[in-house]
């Protein structure tokens, strides 16, 4: 309950998460039928990067700040267009003052038939999120522990959906909790696409986390990781990863194009790296350094 995402909004981890979320949404929209995005840890939805909190860390400057100014090339620019166009829409006068959290980004990319369920437990953040979407019939905001939503709010009535789970990782058992939350949710909604965010930092139990996921009875899990600096002498975040369950068949190839570009433009030292690989399912590996 102490975590406040305003200090980290728009950083390199947000860039990876939101770039992939935008690709998942666009893939869902290839079919006419409605779908729902369930965001388990939604935050406040929209972040003012000129605020005292965001300026205190300045993390966005090494994330979206670098990316918006980068020469990405035609293919990567096309893949990132849904994500970056939303940011440009929020900042019509240029620059980057406002940055969309996951629920706001999803809502901006929706068609009329698509829907959002956003969960937030922190009372102040819930209040701000509720005000952001007040009167919006495409969005439902609930003051709820996101872990509970993985049971109570699945399956969605649309029968199609993306479940985004990006907990704050304040507790030591969050990796295990994320894996077990996925297991529970998948039993209720096996046809859904799940996007699970996790931090990379020195001493993190990533190998054990991956092994736990591999032990679940889930056929297809794709993993993407982006590291921007070495963890030597570091205690904080050095990278982040995503586990995508039931990924679009196009996503692996899209990651093969996006990850090298993100690494090149967001690297903070020469140890920056990226990789994409199957935890379960197809055995081909895409990776780089």
Catalytic annotation, residues: 166
Two tokens, residue 201: 């930092």
Quote the longest CA-to-CA distance of the chain. Answer: 50
Q: Is residue 274 a contact partner of residue 235, using CB atoms and an 8 Å limit?
A: no
Contacts from 156-160 at CB under 8 Å and sequence distance 24+?
A: 156/35, 156/36, 156/38, 156/115, 156/117, 156/189, 156/192, 157/36, 158/33, 158/34, 158/35, 158/36, 158/115, 159/191, 160/28, 160/31, 160/33, 160/34, 160/35, 160/36, 160/191, 160/192
């Amino acid at each position: 309950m102490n975590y406040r995402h305003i200090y980290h909004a728009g950083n390199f981890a947000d860039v990876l998460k939101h770039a992939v979320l935008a690709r998942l949404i666009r893939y869902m929209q290839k079919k006419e039928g409605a779908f729902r995005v369930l965001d388990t840890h939604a935050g406040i939805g929209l972040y003012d990067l000129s605020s005292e909190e965001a300026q205190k860390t300045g993390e966005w400057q090494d994330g979206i700040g670098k990316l918006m100014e980068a020469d990405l090339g035609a293919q990567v620019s096309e893949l990132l267009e849904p994500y970056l166009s939303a940011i440009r829409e929020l900042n019509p006068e240029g620059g980057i003052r406002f940055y969309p959290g996951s629920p706001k980004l999803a809502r901006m990319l929706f068609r009329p038939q698509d829907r959002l369920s956003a969960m937030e437990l922190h009372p102040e953040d819930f209040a701000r999120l509720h005000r952001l979407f007040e009167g919006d019939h495409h969005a439902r905001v609930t003051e709820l522990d996101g872990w509970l939503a993985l049971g109570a709010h699945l399956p969605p009535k649309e029968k199609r959906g993306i479940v985004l789970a990006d907990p704050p990782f304040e507790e030591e058992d969050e990796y295990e909790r994320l894996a077990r939350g996925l297991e529970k949710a998948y039993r209720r909604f096996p046809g859904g696409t799940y996007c699970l965010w996790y931090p990379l930092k020195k001493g993190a139990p990533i190998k054990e986390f991956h092994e736990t996921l591999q032990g679940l009875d889930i056929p297809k899990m794709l993993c993407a990781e982006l590291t921007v600096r070495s963890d030597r002498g570091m205690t904080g975040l050095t990278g982040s990863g995503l586990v995508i369950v039931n990924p679009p068949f196009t996503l692996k190839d899209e990651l093969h194009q996006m990850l090298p570009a993100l690494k090149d433009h967001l690297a903070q030292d020469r140890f920056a790296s990226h990789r994409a690989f199957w935890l379960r399912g197809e055995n081909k590996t895409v990776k780089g350094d």
